[in-house]
Amino acid sequence: MLRLIYISTTRAPVSPAELDGILAVSRRNNARVGVTGLLVAGGRRFLQALEGPQDAVAETFARIGRDPRHFAVVTLRRDAIDARAFPDWTMGYQRGGAIGAAGSLSAIVAALTSEIADPSVRAYFTGFAEVNAAA
């Protein structure tokens, strides 16, 4: 299995309704090919982990890279893995900006990633959340 973590920027702001549509399609496509992961959005920046069979992750990432809504798609980490960090999420998601009932984006992401065994994977998400909490 493969885990790929990347960061990207959207060319234009994405509305909540547009993002809901993207998430619905992504979750359906990911479930079909066995890809799981987490997406955190902060303003026009996205940090995402994709996990699953190597070919499925590679094709999912290639499709993201071809999406004209993105630019500056940068792979931060690509590792062979024995176990998934996000086994139950066809695409877990958390958006920055709004303070939810459960607390700040940083607190929510810290809670979502608290069970991840690899501290560097956790750090990508918690660091991104801290920087983009108000975006």
Tell me the mean pLDDT in the region 94-102: 45
Indicate the angle between helix axes 16-33 and 54-66, nearest 10 degrees: 150
pTM for this one?
Answer: 0.85
Q: What number of other Cβ atoms are within 10 A of residue 102's Cβ?
A: 8
Amino acid letter for position 51: E
CATH code of residue 44: 3.30.70.100
Number of domains in the chain: 1
More confident residue, 101 or 70: 70
Q: Which structural domain range is residue 68 located in?
A: 2-132
Tell me the mean pLDDT in the region 58-64: 95
